[in-house]
Homo-oligomer: A and B are copies of this chain.
Amino acid sequence: MSEPGSLDAYEETRPFRVRSSTAEWAAAILRRRVTQGGLLPGSRLVEDELTAELEVSRNTLREAFRLLGHERLLEHKLNRGVYVRVLSPADVADIYRVRRMIEGAAVRRPDKDPIALTALRDAVADAERAAAEGRWLDVGTADLRFHQIIASLNGSQRVNAMMAQLLAELRLVFHAMDPRVLHAPFLPRNRELLTLLESGRSAEAEHLLATYLDEAERVLLAACA
Contact = CB atoms under 8 A, between A and B. Distances in A.
Nearest to A156: B97
A108 to B, nearest CB: 10
A21 B105 contact: no
Instruction: Report, as a range, how many residues of chain A touch the other chain.
Output: 20 to 34
B159 A101 contact: yes
Interface in A28-60: 59
Dominant SS among interface residues on chain A: helix
A7 B52 CA distance: 33
A189 interface: no
A171 interface: no
Contact of A105 (B67, B78, B101, B157): B101
A113 interface: no
A94 B156 CA distance: 6
Interface in A122-153: none
B158 A98 contact: yes
Interface string A51-85: 00000000100110011001000000010000000
A102 interface: yes
B98 A159 contact: yes
B97 A154 contact: yes
A166 B104 CA distance: 20
A162 interface: yes
Interface string A154-184: 1111110010001000000000000000000
A66 B21 CA distance: 12
Contact of A156 (B98, B104, B156, B158): B98
Given A62-B63, A98-B158, A101-B101, 20 more contacts: A19-B78, A59-B59, A63-B63, A63-B66, A66-B67, A67-B70, A94-B156, A97-B154, A97-B156, A97-B158, A98-B156, A98-B159, A101-B102, A101-B105, A101-B156, A101-B159, A104-B105, A105-B105, A158-B166, A162-B162
